[in-house]
Amino acid sequence: MIPAHAPVLPSETVAFLQPSRGGTFVDCTLGLGGHTAALLEAGATRVIGLDRDPRAIEVARERLSAWGDRALLVHADYRALPSVLAEHGVGVIDGALADLGVSSMQLDEPGRGFSFRSDGPLDMRMDTSAGPTAAALLATVDEYELADVIYRFGEERKSRRVARAIVEARDEEPIETTARLASIVRRAAGGGGYQRIDPATRTFQALRIWVNRELEGLDTFVIDAARALREGGRVVIIAFHSLEDRIVKHTMRMLERGEGLVRVLTKKPVMAAATECAANPRARSAKLRAVERIA
C-alpha cells in the first residue's frame, strides 16, 4: 500500500519550474514522488528523481509507474547531482527541485527513529544502508560537542543541560530508543506550565540534522544545480529550517551578485497559503526560493 502523501507547495513549484515547456528536470529529493508526479503531469518530458532513502525510492517507483521511463529514479544523495547527471549522460537540465528535510513517511514510521510520537529504535538515518545511527553516535560523543550540536542545529537554549543529562543517562544504560531519549530530554529541557511544542522537539531535530549531515555541502549543491541548468532553466529549493533557508538565500544571492549566473526570482521566500497549511500542517514552516539561469 502506498502511503498517503501531499507534497508541499506543489502549484508554486510547478509555476516556477514551468515544466509545460518540456525538457529534463531533476527532483533532487524525490521522497514519495509527489513533486515528480506534479512535474510530469504538467508536461515535463523526463524527471530524474534522487533520494538517499531506499524505502522512498521503492514507494515512489510504484507511485510513478504510470509514467514509465519518463521517471528515472536513482538511489543517491542530492549532493551527488553532478555525478548522477554525468553517469546518465545528461549535459544540461531544464530545472531542478530540492524539498529539504525529513519526509512525512520517515516521520510516520516508528522503526526509522525520527519521531518521539511513538517508540522505536533510535536510528534517524535517511539512508539506512550507510553511516552510524543516532544511537551509535550518542554512545560516544563528547558532552561539549553534543551540547554544541543541540544548540547549533536545534537552537535549544538549554543545550548544555540536555547534553549533560544524555551523557549521564548513557553511563547508566545505552540510549537505544526514541521513547527513552525523549524522556531524558523532556526532564532536562522541560519547564512548568504550558509549552507550545514538546520539549524534545528541538533536540530530536538537531540530532537528525547531525546524523544525516544535512547542512554540509548544501551551498555547493545550490551552485551545482544552477550550473547544470541551460539558460532559462530554474532551480527551486524548499527549506523548513532557518539554518537551511539562510544557506540557500545567501548562496543564491552570491550566484546573482557575485557570478552573475542567475537571477533571483524570490526576493522574499514564498510561503504556503492558509488553506494548504490547514490541509497539510508540514507546509507551515516551508520557505520556497527560486533562481533562473541567465548566463
pLDDT above 90 for 15: yes
When pLDDT is averaged across residues 61-84 and rounded to a whole number, the result is: 95
pLDDT score for 204: 93
> Is 3 domain-assigned?
no
CA neighbours within 13 Å on the CB side: how many for 67?
24
Cell numbers for 291: 533562481
Task: Give me the chain's average pLDDT, please.
Answer: 92
> Is 246 domain-assigned?
yes
Residues 78 and 213: their CA atoms lie apart, in Å, by 12
> Is 197 domain-assigned?
yes
Greater pLDDT, 101 or 183: 183
When pLDDT is averaged across residues 20-44 and rounded to a whole number, the result is: 96
Q: What does the pLDDT look like over 215-256, one tens digit per residue?
A: 999 999 999 999 999 999 999 999 998 999 999 999 999 999
> Is 4 domain-assigned?
no
Among 162, 192, 212, the domain boundary falls at: 212
pLDDT score for 114: 77
> Is 5 domain-assigned?
no
pLDDT score for 265: 97
pLDDT above 60 for 258: yes
Q: Is 19 exposed, middle or buried (0-12, 13-18, 19+ CB in 10 A)?
A: buried
Q: Is 4 exposed, middle or buried (0-12, 13-18, 19+ CB in 10 A)?
A: exposed
> Which residues constitute the domain of residue 114?
110-212
Among 212, 239, 269, the domain boundary falls at: 212
pLDDT above 70 for 1: no
Q: Count up the domains in the chain and report the number.
A: 2
**Under a CB-based contact definition with an 8 Å cutoff, are residues 102 and 114 in contact?**
yes
Residues 248 and 229: their CA atoms lie apart, in Å, by 17
Among 166, 189, 212, the domain boundary falls at: 212
Percent of the chain with pLDDT strictly greater than 90: 80
Q: Which of 67-71, 103-107, 214-218 has the lowest average pLDDT?
A: 103-107
Cell numbers for 269: 521566500
pLDDT above 60 for 17: yes
- Is 116 in the same domain as 207? yes
Residues 70 and 45: their CA atoms lie apart, in Å, by 6
Q: What does the pLDDT look like over 91-101, one tens digit per residue?
A: 999 999 999 97
- Is 82 in the same domain as 144? no
> Is 20 domain-assigned?
yes
pLDDT above 90 for 36: yes
- Is 34 in the same domain as 55? yes
- Is 138 in the same domain as 183? yes
> Is 2 domain-assigned?
no
